[in-house]
């Protein structure tokens, strides 16, 4: 795993090497083992390496003198051996055993047509000196990040993390009001936006190319989740196929020249990955889990049960109720406001795992692929009710009833009549958007100041979901919800959370359930094989019955979360009051002071549970304070330095 940074100049001449090194080395945590830089006319490429495969070779930037190409790359290609064999059959010679060289040769041979052939997680840049053109690409699901934008002088800059771009003095730090609305609605900033105007994320499954003098590039899509249903697929056949695909994905991701292990929460997804690893490994798998000193949020008993069942070498750590002290650390790690509170235990489990391994496999992606989230069941049920009534009747009748019915935060979601009535008044896309929002549209409108509303000019984060729904290959309510999650929640929240938390500890995390071939196949499954009655991930659980205890597979889902509501009424209460009423959030001018005060008081008194909104505001406060701090670079090890004058050498 690695960190990359680049500058493509809008003018002739060499980019400033000191600036390039600052962009590269502020990401040192992503690659502490080696560092390299390439400078040529019109371009500068920087790279930091976390050595995983072919430790003695594969240094970057990787340069081909004859072809006049240079590559910087972050990620892993799991099919690099078969790609290499295919390229060797075409007469291409290799000088290393690294997947980096395979990627360079694949791009040299096929250009952007190489992308559908790649199986793995990746973000990379290729500089073509002959064409004076850069090519950027990101993997199918968005496992690895890539930010890009333009400086005030017109240079294109890009990096693995936002902090890499912010280390360039020509990159402006101007907040994007629409991105802030997205964040308050969803808890993260969905691509292609970043929190700053003029800086974008390359969306998953996209590429772009640019050379000096051209307009700003348009990202082009090369892959999407198909959702073409196989209605003839029988349950037994699907179960057998799933086991095969899972085992193939896991085996391909266990290739490493450094210690390897897995995260184990005791849930279905991580247990599925560890079970497959155990079948493929001659040695006990090293597993790591995090627990809480709060019974309702502690899954370690299940993790231990699975570890004993699969005979793993298990490591465990407990998170105390004062672990909110990580708040400012997380602001520095994520660069943008990010309010998924499970980032706290994720950071800790990565910290623990790095003491034992350099590579860890995780179970991320199982819920999105196989309909594991509880919200899917509720959405499917509500969608069935909506389908029986015309929109012309639903909106006025249920909208009115929902507005006058008393609110009941304390009740289970299906029993909250006000919530259900309001959901029935919406269409499927708006209803699903509302169900995943951390702060409702009505609450956001009460929170925002008149000034901020003017800056938004009527923009709503709902448009993010509308845009994706307009391009969705399915209109089935359950499958559409999965598609929306794969386009927003998965890359924007889940994968961002894991990438930054793991890279902060120089740990590589791999996600076999997001092998894009498995994702493609899972999207063909009929809804009844994913959600059967109240059982989510039905076919995954059936496939795992020979490997895991029944009470592990079919116990109630807990999720990887923290006791946030309790924290905000207890040890965090004073900090909430100070930060939101006297801190950066209060001073930024975006929010109504009286509404901030009301939220704090109502939650503290136990009248309402505002924990999701309050935590979002706390993380925003930490971000606003952090964004005022200058980027700091750390000294690196001796680096590979490549200079060129018109050609690569």
Token couple for 513: 């359930």
**Nearest CA to 46 among 148, 125, 142, 155?**
125
Q: Which of 2, 114, 288, 350 is catalytic?
A: 2
Cα angle vertex 293, ends 288, 298, to 5°?
Answer: 55
Q: How far apart are CA 500 and CA 407, in angstroms?
A: 37
Per the omega criterion (within 30 degrees of 0), is the bond before 61 cis?
yes
Q: How far apart are CA 163 and CA 149, in angstroms?
A: 12
214's CB contacts (< 8 A; 6+ apart) are: none
Q: How far apart are CA 578 and CA 327, in angstroms?
A: 14
Residues 228-254, buried b or exposed e (16+ Cβ, 10 A)? Answer: eeeeebeeeebbebbbebbbbbbbbbb
For residue 500, the number of C-alpha atoms closer than 13 Å in the C-beta half-sphere is 25
Residues 449 and 594: beta-carbon distance below 8 Å = no
Q: Is the dihedral of CA 610, 616, 619, 620 positive or negative?
A: negative
**Nearest CA to 309 among 321, 301, 297?**
301
For the chain, what is the total number of helices (H) and then of strands (E)? 29, 18
Question: DSSP secondary-structure letter at 560?
Answer: S
Q: How far apart are CA 574 and CA 553, in angstroms?
A: 40
Token couple for 172: 């402006």
2 is catalytic: yes
Token couple for 344: 């706290």
Residues 574-604, buried b or exposed e (16+ Cβ, 10 A)? Answer: ebbbebbeebbbbeeebbeeeebeebbeebb
For residue 428, the number of C-alpha atoms closer than 13 Å in the C-beta half-sphere is 25
The residues annotated with a catalytic role in the active site are 2
């Amino acid at each position: 795993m690695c960190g990359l940074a680049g500058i493509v100049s809008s003018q002739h001449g060499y980019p400033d090497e000191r600036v390039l090194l600052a962009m590269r080395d502020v990401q040192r945590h992503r690659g502490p083992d080696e560092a390299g830089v390439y400078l040529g006319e019109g371009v500068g490429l920087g790279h930091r390496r976390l050595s995983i495969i072919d430790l003695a070779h594969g240094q970057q930037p990787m340069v081909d003198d004859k072809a006049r190409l240079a590559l910087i790359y972050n990620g892993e290609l799991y099919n690099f051996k078969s790609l290499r064999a295919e390229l060797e059959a075409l007469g291409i010679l290799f000088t290393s055993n690294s997947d980096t060289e395979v990627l360079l040769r694949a791009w040299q041979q096929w250009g952007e047509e190489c992308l559908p052939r790649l199986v793995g997680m990746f973000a990379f840049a290729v500089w073509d000196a002959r064409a004076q053109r850069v090519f950027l690409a990101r993997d199918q699901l968005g496992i690895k990040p890539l930010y890009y934008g333009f400086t005030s002088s017109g240079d294109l800059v890009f990096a693995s993390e936002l902090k890499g771009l912010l280390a360039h003095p020509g990159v402006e730090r101007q907040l994007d009001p629409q991105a802030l609305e997205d964040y308050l609605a969803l808890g993260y900033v969905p691509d292609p936006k970043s929190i700053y105007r003029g800086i974008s994320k390359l969306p998953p499954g996209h590429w772009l190319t640019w050379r000096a003098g051209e307009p700003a590039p348009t990202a082009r899509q090369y892959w999407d989740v198909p959702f073409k249903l196989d209605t003839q697929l029988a349950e037994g056949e699907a179960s057998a196929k799933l086991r095969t695909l899972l085992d193939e994905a896991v085996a391909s991701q266990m290739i490493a020249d450094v210690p390897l292990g897995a995260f184990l929460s005791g849930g279905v997804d991580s247990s599925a990955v560890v079970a497959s690893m155990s079948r493929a490994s001659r040695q006990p798998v090293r597993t790591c889990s995090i627990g809480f000193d709060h019974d309702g949020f502690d899954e370690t008993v299940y993790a231990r049960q699975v570890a004993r069942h699969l005979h793993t070498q298990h490591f465990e750590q407990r998170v105390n109720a004062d672990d909110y002290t990580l708040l400012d650390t997380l602001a520095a790690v994520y660069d943008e406001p990010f309010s998924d509170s499970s980032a706290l235990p994720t950071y800790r489990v990565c910290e623990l795992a790095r003491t034992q391994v350099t590579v860890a496999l995780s179970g991320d992606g199982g819920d999105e692929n196989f309909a594991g989230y509880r919200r899917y069941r509720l959405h499917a049920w509500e969608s069935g009710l909506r389908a029986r009534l015309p929109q012309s009747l639903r909106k006025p009748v249920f909208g009115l009833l929902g507005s006058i019915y008393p609110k009941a935060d304390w009740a289970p979601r299906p029993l909250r009549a006000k919530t259900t009535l309001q959901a029935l008044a919406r269409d499927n896309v708006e209803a699903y958007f509302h169900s995943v929002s951390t702060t409702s549209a009505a609450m956001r409108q009460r929170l925002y100041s008149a000034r901020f509303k003017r800056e938004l000019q009527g923009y709503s984060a709902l448009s993010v979901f509308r845009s994706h729904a307009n391009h969705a290959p399915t209109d089935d309510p359950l499958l559409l919800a999965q598609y929306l999650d794969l386009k927003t929640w998965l890359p924007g929240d889940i994968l961002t959370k894991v990438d930054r938390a793991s890279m902060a500890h120089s740990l590589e995390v791999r996600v076999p359930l997001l092998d894009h071939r498995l994702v493609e196949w899972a999207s063909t499954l009929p809804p009844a094989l994913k959600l059967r009655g109240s059982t989510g991930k039905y076919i995954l659980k059936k496939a795992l019955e020979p490997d895991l205890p029944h009470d592990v597979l079919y116990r109630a889902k807990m999720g990887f979360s923290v006791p946030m509501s309790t924290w905000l009424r207890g040890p965090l209460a004073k900090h909430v009051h100070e930060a939101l009423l006297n801190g950066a959030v209060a001073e930024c001018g975006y929010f109504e002071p009286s509404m901030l005060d009301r939220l704090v008081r109502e939650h503290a008194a136990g009248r309402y549970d505002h924990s999701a909104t309050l935590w979002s505001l706390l993380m925003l406060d930490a971000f606003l304070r952090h964004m005022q701090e200058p980027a700091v670079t750390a000294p690196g090890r001796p680096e590979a330095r490549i200079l060129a004058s018109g050609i690569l050498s």
